Amino acid sequence: MNVVDFGESGPVRCSRCKGYINPFMKFIDQGRRFICNLCGYTDETPRDYHCNLGPDGRRRDADERPELCRGTVEFVATKEYMVREPMPAVYFFLIDVSMNAIQTGATAAACSVISLVISDLPEGPRTLIGIATFDSTIHFYNLKRALQQPLMLIVPDVQDVYTPLQSDVIVQLSECREHLELLLENIPTMFRHNRTADSAFGAAVKAAFLAMKNTGGKLLVFQSVLPSTGVGALSAREAEGRSTVSAAETEAHKLLQPADKTLKTMAIEFAEYQVCVDVFLTTQSYVDIASISVIPKTTGGQLYYYFPFSAISDAAKLYNDLRWNITRPQGLEAVMRVRCSQGLQVNEYSGNYCKRIPSDVDLPAIDCDKTIMVTLKHDDKLQDGSECSFQCALLYTTIDGQRRIRISTFSLPCTTMLSDLFRSADLDTQFACILKQAASEVPTAPLPQIREHVTNHCINILYSYRKFCATASSSGQLILAEALKLLPLYTLALIKSTGLRTNEPIDTRSFWINYVSPLSVSLAIPWVHPRLIAIHELNTKENEESLIPHPIPPSSEYINDNGIYLLENGEDCLIYVGNSADPSVMHQLLGISSVEQVPAQFVLQQHDNLLSKKLNDIINEIRRQRCNYLRLRLCKKGDSSGMLFFSNMVEDKTSIGLSYVEFLVHIHRHVQSKMA
């Protein structure tokens, strides 16, 4: 990233719309003035920024100045961009030690992975750390070096929470590393006989926030059961929603919405004080994700879901998720605004953030995995041949404490020719928007209505292309724009996806909705249309161009009973073993000799043979591409794992949707009737 420092004066900006200097601003009058590409206003060029223009009308120094030749640059922020000194890097770990968390090994797993990632935290005096545990009470630990061992401080009141020590609960990592490692080693033993089943999640998060209030920072919570006591306690609402089938969908709407406003109100306060909350749900039961997820969603955090949690098979993913969470490119105490040129205005933002004023998005933390969708409103005529500009300004603090403004600007030509628009359409982005809009409607609108809405969206796009761009074609043909030819396939996959199915557990659907909210464009399609690979054929494919073999369509038509298949959607990875699979291939790949040996908890090993090495290389490459460790699960026909695998065959005919061929016929019929 190119970093530009304008010194005390700060970056050059338009005096009317406050847009930042960028490659699309036009310099005139021998460089003495410039025209803003966002609002059209003409400004004086600051004297110390002046440069003559070349014969092509560009500044002679344009190629040496990143802000005049690059779409994205960072400016060093001046004092006027700071309300206080840039915040330190604060990490506070909060661990569930209730009976269930101890017995399932979730507490021990959390302590173990935290202990492993401590060495990945930023070095230096600016890195501060704190730790607390909770069941029906909250336990803080004084990590001051002077003490022989960490001192436990108990907060018994979970209705009116407080922090027992203002100063020694969060200390410099360099001061307390030994104490911290000892404590993490001891926590599972200290609570091994714990018989407290209740969990005061809301109260614990509130108490940790009070300890972090002065600095802000990252709060990483490991939670295993439904929060049942204290502030923001929740009830097992899911059981109420299972009484009758007819009431199920009506009830599901309520269950996909937060139980009440308590956690939302808390989350807004956290965001105000720059505290970002990430929640790791290591659970084996219903935890009400619809309510809990409000906290990470509002504070720019992330929700991780390990269900059903297994200390054996999920330990590696938990470690990799936590390590990536801490080490990935990220910023703190951020605020973002999007500006666009005349004739357009920002309609709404969607993603994981807090919004206190209409024009800005508040992000206590922002990282490379989060996407914010911006919907624009077209409110004036745009001239054919002119250009529209868009600029996103993100003010944030780097992990090492520098205040920066990241500016991304791009400009697009306007056209009155619909065929130009279809030719340059971006299917991935278009589909990501459709997916996010559908996911946001799931908690409030009837599912048949959402499915119909998504289908109509696809029909209208294809109809417009047919009517205005392909008039000469035969009416008997389904005509698809080249750039959008897979739109019907992805639309069908979305209609059949987990979030839009009534037969899925409420928490699974809530997680699906929550996962989509900040999802990047590159992960939107695999999330609903997973990649399927025949791994029993790896030996026969010597000269593959890429490490990952060519995928096959996710349809049971391509699943053979003597095959072994890998299916991944960017979050989960399923390996399906056919009933008649070759025992020697099974043994080489998975270390088992028959389908009966498929274990409930599976950890992929690398065995000493070429097939196993190829499979491990493929999975590692998928993990690298997806920036996600992926949960691995072995599946076989005839049990719930097999049903899970086949529920991903989105091109098949199912109870809620047509097969891909039938869907194309259905779409074509509707386009024809609109043409008539």
Q: Which domain CATH number covers 557?
A: 3.40.20.10
The pLDDT value recorded for residue 472 is 73
pTM summary value: 0.96
Q: Is residue 39 domain-resident? A: yes
243 band by pLDDT with thresholds 50, 70 and 90? very low
Asked if residue 126 is part of any domain, the answer here is: yes
Residues 164 and 306 in one domain: yes
Which residue, 241, 661, 248, 216, is CA-closest to 447?
248
pLDDT, tens digit, for every residue of 203-238?
999 999 999 999 999 999 999 999 999 999 999 988
Which CATH number belongs to the domain containing residue 323 in this structure? 3.40.50.410
Q: Is the pLDDT of residue 543 over 60?
A: no
Q: What angle do CA 307, 312, 316 make, to 5 degrees?
A: 80
Give the CATH number, domain containing residue 48.
Answer: 2.30.30.380
For the stretch 137-166, what's the b/e string if a residue is b when 16 or more beta carbons lie within 10 angstroms of its beta carbon? Answer: bbbbbbbbeeeeebeebebeebeebebbee
Query: Does some domain include residue 433?
Result: no
289 three-class SS: helix
DSSP secondary structure string for all residues of 36-88: -TTT--EEEPPGGG---B-TTSSBTTGGG-HHHH-SEEEEEP-GGG-SSSPPP
- Provide the token pair at 173: 């990592």
Residues 642 and 548 in one domain: yes
Residue 395 bridge partners (DSSP): 335, 405
- For the stretch 190-205, pLDDT in tens is 999 999 999 999 999 9
108 within a domain of the structure (yes/no)? yes
Instruction: For residue 460, tell me if it sits in a domain.
Output: no
Which of 71, 98, 129 is the last residue in one of the domains?
71
Query: Do 155 and 105 share a structural domain?
Result: yes
According to the model, what pLDDT value does residue 476 have?
73
Paired tokens of 3 = 């970093």
What CA–CA distance (Å, rounded) separates 300 from 278? Answer: 9
Domain membership of residue 381 (yes or no) is yes
Tell whether 54 and 95 lie within a shared domain. no
Q: Which of 564, 563, 562, 587 has its CA nearest to residue 575?
A: 564
Give the CATH number, domain containing residue 410. 2.60.40.1670
Residues 410 and 552 in one domain: no
Summarize pLDDT for 51-96 with one digit per residue, the tens. Answer: 999 999 999 999 999 999 999 999 999 999 998 899 999 999 999 9
Residue 486 lies inside a defined structural domain of this protein: no
CA distances for 63 relative to 1, 19, 55, 651, angstroms: 16, 21, 15, 50
Structure tokens at 674: 């609109």
Cα–Cα nearest to 663, from 672, 655, 653: 653
Position 244 confidence tier, pLDDT thresholds 50, 70, 90? very low
Give the number of domains in the chain.
4
Token output for 64: 């040496």
What residues does 4 pair with on adjacent strands? 75
pLDDT digits (tens, 9 = 90+) for 357-369: 888 999 999 999 9
What is the C-alpha radius of gyration for the chain, rounded to an integer number of angstroms? Answer: 27
- Outline where DSSP puts E strands in 77-216: 89-96, 127-134, 138-142, 151-155, 170-172
Q: Do residues 549 and 628 share a domain?
A: yes
Asked which of 116-130, 161-175, 245-259, 618-632 is least confident by mean pLDDT, the reply is 245-259
User: What separation in angstroms does the CA of 186 have from each of 111, 112, 179, 314, 656?
Assistant: 9, 11, 11, 21, 51
In this prediction, residues 263-284 reach a mean pLDDT of 97
Same domain, 286 and 384: no
Q: Which helix (H) or strand (E) holds 412?
A: strand 403-413
Are residues 407 and 314 part of one domain?
A: no
> Are residues 321 and 357 located together in one domain of the fold?
no
Q: Which residue, of 307, 327, 347, is where some domain finishes?
A: 327
Q: Are residues 16 and 103 in the same domain?
A: no
Which residue range(s) make up the domain with 146? 89-327
In a domain, 358, yes or no: yes
Task: Decide which of 272, 297, 327 is a domain's last residue.
Answer: 327
Q: Are residues 251 and 119 in the same domain?
A: yes
Same domain, 154 and 10: no
